[in-house]
């Protein structure tokens, strides 16, 4: 769009000049970008709420591999699975069977904690890879359970997997429920993807608190199935959000001067966030790293790159090409925006099949962002000799 106007000098009117009407075009682009951004946020928010509230990732079956109500002090199971199960193992102390104390007035198992002597029962399932997913459910109540020396020294329900050498991978999700203090009967349930390395799966009910009593009843282990609608909807949500975000960013003019670099890093982070633990296990095995170190290194490295690229890009837009120096106020703004994005990525893990948000990961993300911003400022200092406002 152009604007025709006349201008006058000392010699009089010189003529008509044609000039791009840049301000109006810029306002229009910003307005379009703003509404695209709002639309993208609404799509993501509605889809995210639907995924974690109404559309389960897994659909549990009606079959029971293990069903223990402790009425006869042993598990009951369908005849097809009895041969593949070990009997319940228990600690030499603190484990008793009580009649009339169960969830519905029936029998249940009672685990009394003693100092440095956790009370537990456990049951091992052979060949868990016969099932793609396993669902573990149980009811628990506590009385006066005091947390022990470590954060996990509580009354809890677990399902962990052993490899062929008998080693337990504690980095893989394993906790189903945890209680301290005094709590009425509560039902806990969680569905686990069976990892490729799993040779056995072990159900554990444990009271490792410093003191207190745990009662457990109605333990059920059974197969579950992936909800294909969940996977499709999640993919559509991710694609729609990315398309709308790119449209909004482009309308704001944020792709200029290398703006695609932080955008590409953001896309990589989102892909990693929504990636299943199962695929992360495969990647970790391929590169020879433990899953813990793969995830933590990925958190630090990607958010470091994002902080570095965002700061350099913002400096290039604000200053002459190649200058990344920014006032302290703008650096604080970049940090706040990236910190909010880091928090969002943790929440988005609620929409994954087998991962969840973690405070420790958020702090690692923050450390990576700070390192990236600081590195950009340091390189600018070396190049220009001074950072204005720092």
Q: Is the pLDDT of residue 387 over 50?
A: no
pLDDT digits (tens, 9 = 90+) for 273-331: 777 666 666 666 666 666 667 777 878 888 898 888 888 877 766 654 444 456 777 78
Nearest-5° Cα angle at 149, 143 to 150 = 95
Provide the percentage of residues in the chain whose pLDDT is more than 70. 71
- CA distance linking residue 273 with residue 269, whole number of Å: 6
Which of left, alpha, beta for 159 (phi over 0: left; psi -120 to 50: alpha)?
Answer: beta
Full DSSP string of 20-41? E-HHHHHHHHHHHHHHHHHHHH
Cβ contacts of residue 263 below 8 Å, gap of 6+?
246, 249, 254, 255
Structural domain spans, the chain: 22-55+228-384, 60-225
- Contact criterion met (CB below 8 Å) for 278 and 354: yes
More confident residue, 47 or 96: 96
- How far apart CA 107 and CA 216 sit, in angstroms, is 10
Tens digits of residue pLDDT in 27-71? 666 666 667 767 777 777 787 788 778 877 778 877 778 777 777
Picking from 149, 157, 152, the residue whose alpha carbon sits closest to that of residue 210 is 149
**Which is nearest to 105 in space by CA: 144, 156, 138, 70?**
70
Answer whether residue 3 shows pLDDT above 50. no
Task: Say whether 216 sits in a helix, a strand or coil.
Answer: strand
Pick the CATH number of 60-225 from 2.60.120.260, 1.20.1070.10, 3.60.21.10, 3.40.47.10: 2.60.120.260
Q: The tokens 């200058």 sit on which residue?
A: 323
Name the band, by pLDDT with cuts 50, 70 and 90, for residue 155.
very high
> What are phi and psi for residue 54, nearest 5 degrees?
-115, -20
Question: What are the angstrom distances between the C-alpha of 14 and each of 4, 6, 18, 111, 196?
Answer: 13, 8, 13, 97, 81
């Amino acid at each position: 769009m152009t604007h025709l106007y006349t201008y006058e000098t000392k010699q009089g009117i010189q003529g008509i000049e044609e000039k791009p009407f840049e301000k109006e075009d810029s306002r229009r682009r910003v307005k379009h970008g703003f509404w695209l951004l709002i639309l993208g946020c609404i799509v993501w928010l509605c889809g995210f709420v639907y995924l974690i509230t109404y559309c389960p990732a897994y659909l549990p079956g009606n079959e029971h591999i293990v069903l223990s109500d402790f009425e006869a002090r042993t598990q009951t199971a369908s005849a097809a699975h009895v041969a593949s199960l070990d009997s319940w193992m228990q600690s030499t102390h603190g484990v008793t069977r009580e009649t009339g104390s169960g969830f519905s007035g029936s029998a249940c198992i009672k685990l009394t904690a003693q100092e440095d002597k956790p009370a537990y029962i456990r049951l091992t399932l052979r060949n868990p890879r016969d099932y793609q997913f396993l669902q573990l459910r149980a009811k628990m109540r506590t009385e006066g359970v005091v947390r022990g020396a470590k954060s996990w020294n509580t009354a809890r329900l677990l399902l962990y997997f052993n490899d062929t050498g008998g080693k337990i991978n504690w980095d893989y999700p394993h906790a189903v429920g945890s209680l301290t203090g005094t709590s009425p009967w509560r039902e806990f349930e969680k569905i686990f993807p069976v990892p490729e390395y799993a040779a056995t799966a072990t159900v554990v009910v444990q009271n490792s608190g410093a003191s207190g009593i745990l009662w457990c009843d109605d333990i059920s282990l059974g197969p579950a199935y992936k909800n294909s609608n969940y996977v499709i909807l999640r993919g559509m949500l991710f694609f729609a959000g990315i398309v709308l975000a790119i449209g909004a960013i482009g309308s704001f003019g944020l792709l200029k001067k290398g703006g695609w670099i932080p955008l590409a890093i953001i896309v990589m982070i989102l892909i990693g966030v929504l990636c299943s633990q199962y695929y992360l296990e495969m990647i970790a095995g391929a590169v020879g790293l433990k899953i813990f170190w793969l995830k933590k290194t990925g958190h630090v490295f990607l958010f470091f790159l994002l902080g570095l690229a965002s700061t350099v890009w913002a400096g290039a837009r604000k200053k002459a090409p190649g200058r990344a120096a920014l006032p302290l106020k703008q650096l604080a703004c970049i940090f706040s925006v990236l910190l909010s994005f880091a928090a969002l990525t943790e929440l988005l893990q609620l929409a994954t099949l087998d991962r969840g948000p973690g405070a420790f990961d958020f702090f690692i993300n923050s450390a990576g962002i700070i390192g990236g911003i600081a590195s950009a400022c340091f390189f600018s200092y070396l190049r220009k000799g001074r950072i204005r406002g720092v």
